[in-house]
Structure 1
Amino acid sequence: MSIIMSVSALLSALLLLASAASASHFYGGSMTFNPIKNPDGSYRVDFRFKEAYHSCYTSDSWACRSGNCGSRTSFVGGRVDSSSKGGSWCQTEAVIKRTVPNNSPFQLTQSSCCWIYTIYDIYGGNWGLLTHIDLGERSDTSKPNRSPVATTLPIVRVPQNCARNYNLLSCDPDKDTVRCRYGTLSANECGMCRQPPGFTLDQSTCTLSNSVNASIGTYAFELVMEDYPTRNITLNYTAMAPTVRSPFVNSSSSSPLSKIPLQFAVEVEAPAPSCIEGEYLPRFIHPTPHQGEHLQARVNQELEIRVKATATFSSITDVVFSGPLNSTKETTTTGEYVINWTPTSDNFGQHFPICFIAEGQNGSRNYQSEMRCVIVVVEAAGPRAQVTCTKDTMSVSIERSTISGIHGDHLRLNNNASCAVSSNSTHVFTTFSLSGCGTQIEETDEHLSFKNTIVTYDNPNHIITRKNIFEIEVMCKYQKKSSITTRFDAHRPAVNFTERGFGSFSYQFEFYQSGTFRNTRDPSSYPLDYNVGETIYMEIAPVNVIQNTEVFLESCVATPYDNPSYPISYPIITNGCGVDETVNIYTSHQPNVKFSMEAFKFIGQYDQVFISCSIIICEANNPNTRCAQGCTNGTQVAPSSHVHKREAAIQTGSHFISQGPLRLRRSASFTDAISPSLNLNLVFVAGCVVAVVAMVCGMMVYKSRGSKVNYQLLKSDEI
């Protein structure tokens, strides 16, 4: 009998432990609110509630603790971001709208079990949140009070030997003074209600600091954020007597305008080899916005926040963030993380906090950067525009009435005088090639974007201006798919050039079946398939032979896309010299140039490649031309091609011509053929790019150099 009872007791204990383990999942939460007075005298209050658990979960379990809390009219929730490092967590946000009959104060609360395991409660303690809302009409703004805005990552991590400050971004839309303190149990503001040892909280700046050598483990912080007016104000109510609110003096003599919860966890980890940011701990670099920076967004127009970090001894693996509902995150091939969010008309005039942390990895250790936070202020919709994307062009049309004060004749593309912007009485418009006029290409995990900028200028001969600078970044975004041929012309047509002294001429870039250069590869067979190490035979030749001229192959570069300025590139020929060791140039001082090289592939997810070359056309047999110089080390100055009075032109400028795509025939043994000791950025064996088929949208990004405005999208049209 005793054995049976012992087994029963053991099973009960195990079940209790299992229950505690499954319930220990809360990582913290926060609440902010924004009230709007309705025409009938009632109030609509928009609450934004964030919570984080081991898995993605959101619900409205807020209960009315005091006052008349009205009724809920809508609830929308969803995932913000998640991470598998430092404990798996998922943060969600719910937008809860309530209608209350008057502006008397009320309180909402919710509580449950259990916090994640902490250093002072291995079973995970209870948690509780409280929000105090006072909608009294302020004498200084004639509007009801708005709460401070704040957010934080669910858990932040710091090595035991590294001191760090966490600025909790105490921002108030009414410009009130914001203070932070630990919650109290008697007011239902917390669950465990502890003040963790080894940490200090500056209540006036809402800055949390850890001391060096705090005990290793996880700490829960249950804070309350309060706002106080900067001078005496009166709050007027429809159903009760007015009250006076005063600036903060001390906690016992001053009553706050509102109280909101801000709860999260801090994990103190094993010591790091170095606490210098940029070594093991990631360090933010340009174009990351600064701590506390205010960014402007526009209604119904996407906002971009670009974040980039570096670390000498760690690899940047992720950027985790906390932002508004419907925020998204993408990663570019240049290592930038782009946080996107599109405000709605309901968000007009409101302030939204966004915080982010970069994560780096060294071996089995993961390190976090500082937490950086910004405030997004939502303004009215901007210029109305239409962006149309095709397989190789972008067309932009902007309504003049929405960009008043800007002269249509003082706009051009990317400071390129040859790429003008036209205008009439109603619109400003332009059409340009995706590979011309300085268009830049950017790749993320899911999209391929082509970007250019429309800018103002006073005079094409001036390098300064004293007028307001107006910039619109235009973009065509395409979704990456598995085939390139359905949206982009595979075989590139002949390129036409026009230059003074040479007239108009056309050159064609072709691939040949063999070194005899007799039979070209069939244009309908593009993208061309090659095996690893197979020789590629190429020729650049005039469509119609131009008498007494020769062509000089100045440079060739391989890129994943049909854009020679793409940041990922591999030089093949530079200054007329073969850079790739397999390059052979068969002809020189001829109207055409023939060359070959072995097939190559970019390391990574690219399976296709374009080859772009720069050519110069010269007067034949003239020793003073660049063609006559041949291969140089880049230090020699090329002869001038300027046309002087009574002199004939002896050479053209540089002209780009490209062809592709090429595609590698995959083989099972391919990965074994690459030496791990080689520089992965320079090793190739055939082809390039994840292909692009589906056009997603055309859009515009408005930027103002005169203020701290980051990227704000103006218009997005589904194609």
Structure 2
Amino acid sequence: MLPRLRLCVLVQGLTLLLLGPACEASSLGLTVHAVPLDSDGGNTVRAHFTAIAPAPCPDLTGLCAEGEDCLVHTTSLPFNGTKPTPGWCVRQWQRNVPSNYTGSISLGSSTELYVSLRAGPKVRENSRRLNHPAFVALPPPLRARVDCPHHFHLSVKDLDGDRVRCRFAQTDQGECVSCPRHSFMELDEEKCMLTFTGKAAAGTYFIYLMAEDLIPVPKNIHIKDNSPLSSVPVHLSLTVEESLTRCSDEPVASDDTPEMDSTLYVLPFQEVKFNIHYMSVLESVSEMAVVGPPALFRVGFKSVGPLSTMAMAWVRSENKLAPLLPVCFAANTKSLQSEPRCVWLYQREMKTLPAGTELKCEKTEMTLVLPIASLTNINMDELQLNSPSCPVSYNTTHLTARISLSGCGTKTVHAGSELVYTNTLQSVRPYTMVSRKPVLILPLACRIPGSQVKGPHYEIVMPSDKEVFGEYSFEIQIYLPGEGPMANFTRSPKMRTILRSSPRTRRQVRSPSESNTTPAVSANTTSTGSPPIGSKINQIDLHVMSNCSIERAELIVSKCVESETEDFQVSTPILNQGCATSNNTLEIITTQSNTRIYRLDLEKIETKGSLMYIECTVNLCITTLPSQNCPDLCSRSFKSGNMVNSVFTKSYVVRSDPVSLVYTTRAPSASNTTSISTTPPATTTSTTSTSTPAQTTASHAPGQSSFVAAGLILTTLRITLQNFFLY
């Protein structure tokens, strides 16, 4: 523990747990969550605004006037994305406004928001409390494709349990300045479900809705006037893109991703965590687009072949946010988007502690004293801390507990700039017991101001690739079948198809007799048995290799393409998402985890010239437990846990110099390679020398590698390592 710290004391509440958008075309989204203020009878609401603006992101000046009850949420973890282009960002603020409010709000100099809000005040007859308008979650900017129908489910919640209905905004009601109805957008008002028919040209469109809450009425009861209690604006954008892919090719969330509309209850200073996982067969996920509350952590984004994952966490600190906080997310690829999904964080309301309650925070423990007279109908024997190993004692007047800051289940979280130790005193009953008696949930917290937090407590550093994998490099080598350093595997190979089939990937191991393992020679040969100069090569073996010496490190190849030009402006895929793109490519099974070998049938690859270039995207992977396996990218039987429980390097690109597709001369018997650096050099140089009988180009700079293709022209592979993403 830190010596001589003056600990700020906080006791968090006692709970008896009873069981307009409108905007102009420059905005990409808007929601307003209105919370009525009891202080003036609901004539004023605290309006929580969330808006999505196109890049470049506007500043927040001018949103709050001097002396106004207004707060702009600035964060070191901004919500932004690149799709649709040119990108977007989220701006959030709260402001006290009249319950019936209409006005224009400027975000920077280019984004105007027109807001129409009707939020009461209305006192509910059933509870005699002020009515709460509906809450609507704002998804990231929506994307769809021409001729691909798509449903967009809007996630809605109501604190009063009212029925929520969505409808299109109306200009004549003053709900928007100009809100055209698009013929290709349909709305199921009762389900708040938007449907894009697919019959729209490529472009960006804007949708203006109003969400209303109505008192729920049984279907067999008819009420003549069941008018909405309130109306709040919802503004969405839909970008329609051209695409040649099937309509069913979007990324799909796995079972471990939270369900749509699920609710996570959050106590004071509690941390909630969840992971999202996606499978995208056609294109790799380039980003996880997220819109959520301020200070939502998003860490560990990984995208390897068809697999992608990211972790999210949020700590409830003291805040003036709405009681319901949506977190919406979607996986974006270059041309596809998953179905947006939203979960809700519910900040439980805490009751006031009874007089006489005391919590003392000391250097190594906190001490709780609680009058039991206030705990009506609470079974004292059911009360325990996070860990039952720490006893809770009581007498006829008070309950006491001594809670270690390093034990008793005490947790440490970071809330803003503070370090917080938390524990919970709560009723715990056997699973088999059913009771209507109330239970107690008492969050306890000791806070250390950020100015007093020193040392390693406040910084989490992810280990670097070098610390996990050591010094490593990648290279590509090309050989004729049965030649090269892996000849014992390629001479009489066991091969498997790596074509992705539906609904399950076919993983067939082929015997040497079934495989096409004939020597890569032309039909015409010389009298010595050697193929004539200039004849076409039929097959080559593509070796993708790493020199990583860690025993459990596995090489993963997620993508390879070939091109007739060095700039790869026009390319043809060989591997995509770890799978072959045609039956022209088979994988040769080896026992080397740091090498992948692919046999390419050049007779079926359409090339116009006599040269081609190859580029592959690679990673290294180590599982956290020896009993686990790194994910097999070309398999639908994988579990998302394989992704979460594995450590990956960054993604690197390995690119070759020209590879000859015809026989030129006999090559030396062994390849001549040089190692490469995993850090791309700022500049590279090369020298050229002449040897007999072939000409070579040898690299002497870090980041390059040369090789001899047996039976091919002796060429050099220039390795370019490009960092695709950081996590």
For normalisation by structure 1, the TM-score amounts to: 0.47
Q: Flag the structure with higher strand content.
A: 1
